[in-house]
Amino acid sequence: MVHDLTGRRVLLFDSTLTKVEVVADTTGAAANAYTPRLGGLIAYRGDSTLFVDPTALTMSVLDPNGAFIRNIAVPRAREARNLIGGPFGTPGFDAQGRLVFRATGAATGAQSKSDGAASVSAVPDSAPIVRFDFVRRVLDTVTFVRIPKVQMLIGSDPKGRSTFTTIIDPMPVVDDWGILADGTIAVVRGRLYRVEMYDSTKMMSSGPNLAFDWERMTDESKGRFVDSMRVVMIERTRGQGSPAGGMPDGMEFVSPSELPDYRPAFQLGAARGDRDGNLWVRTTKVVDGGSVYDVINRAGDLVDRVAVPAGRIVAGFGPRGVVYMGVVDGATTRVERAQAH
């Protein structure tokens, strides 16, 4: 089962990846249509799948043939988008059948600044990893993870009108998480680069600090990185009302001096459990234009490093080392299958 983000469709492939059926799309051409907003897929019981529609606030149960069986309400409406994956992590189920996902932390209040403006943390710098029991409709917190801190400056222009500027850290040191095949929750800590394992009782075990080729960030390299990210942001928003040659209105990066002294080992959405009980972490290491994944076992030990070809990202797993990769090819996206060695 594949959610085609480019085509806004849910597709069902056979085991050879040659026969494909459209399960749902946004045009209404298929028997089941959903809203244009991005959705997400979550592996469910047996070979069934949950399709998350954040607009409808539902999770549709799809059987192995792609047929819609019933709808389930999302645990909390305000966190429906957290269930689609990506930077929020890949939701899944623990050994007791509870849905595990990253919830939303509480925002902090405003802080006065000496120039009269107010600095407001629009997004907290930590968020809880939670488990939701569908039978009892109870949600409990497993642990907290560090997420990017975003600040908003509120001021006024010469005409007295309010101004809002969002300050973004382009190189945050964050934590990430994933779910192993047995339902264990694995949390990767960004500062020390080690993995904590949480079982169904929230009992935690921690692996060793993992070896990594840390890249030292000098003042000069920090400045170049921020400049390069500014160019990327300008290019992405060109023609959308941004100042000529400048950042989008109301957006800026932190000072280069606020970046970490070492490039983080990974970014958000980097961790994913495979079918064989390991955790794969997409590191910031690049070889020949392709990403390098660290493969970490249940004890938190590094057991392998896998380089994927350029332009590809690991999108899922099959048993016994099968890896599925997403490849963006012009205006289309395709799925490839490979065997990890």
The model's confidence at residue 239, banded by pLDDT at 50, 70 and 90, is low
The pLDDT tens digits for 159-186 are 888 888 888 899 999 999 999 999 999 9
pLDDT in tens, 4-48: 877 788 999 998 888 999 988 887 666 677 777 788 999 998 889
Question: What does the pLDDT look like over 39-77, one tens digit per residue?
Answer: 899 999 888 999 999 988 999 999 999 999 999 999 999
pLDDT at 16: 87
**Res. 328 pLDDT band, cuts 50 70 90:** confident
Strands (E) across 207-265 are located at 251-253
Query: What's the 3-state SS for 266-292?
Result: EEEEEEEECCCCCEEEEEEEEECCEEE
Confidence of residue 245 (pLDDT cuts 50, 70, 90): low
Tens of pLDDT, residue by residue over 122-158, are 567 899 999 999 999 999 999 999 999 888 888 777 8
pLDDT band at 108 (very low <50, low <70, confident <90, very high): low
Residues contacting 72, CB < 8 A, separation 6+: 50, 58, 59, 60, 61, 134
pLDDT score, position 165? 84
- Asked if 113 and 119 touch (Cβ cutoff 8 Å), the reply is yes
Distances 12 to 5, 36, 41, 42, 146 between C-alpha atoms, Å: 14, 19, 12, 14, 35
Q: Please tell me the predicted confidence (pLDDT) of residue 116.
A: 53
At 246 the pLDDT is 62
Q: pLDDT confidence of 338, banded at 50, 70, 90?
A: very high
Residues 6+ apart with CB under 8 A from 67: none
11 in Cβ contact with 41 (< 8 Å):
no
Percent of the chain scoring above 90 in pLDDT:
63
Residue type, 277: G
pLDDT tens digits, one per residue of 188-236: 999 999 999 999 988 999 999 999 999 999 999 999 999 999 888 887 7
Residue of higher predicted confidence among 222 and 86: 222
